Structure 1
Amino acid sequence: MPSWTKGRVALVGDAGYCASPAAGMGGSLAIIGATALADSFEKHKGNHASAFEAYNKDLRPFINEVQTNAIDTLDKLLPGTEEEVRLRNQNGFGHF
Structure 2
Amino acid sequence: MFLSKKLSERESHWSVSEKECYAIVSMLEKLPPYVWGRRFHLQTDHAALQWLHTVKDNNKKLLRWSLALQDFDFEIQYISGASNKVADALSCESFPESTG
Query: Which structure: greater strand fraction?
Result: 2
TM normalised by structure 1 equals 0.27
> Which fold has the larger relative contact order, with Cα–Cα distance below 8 Å and residues 6 or more apart in sequence?
2
Query: Which structure: greater helix fraction?
Result: 1
TM normalised by structure 2 equals 0.26
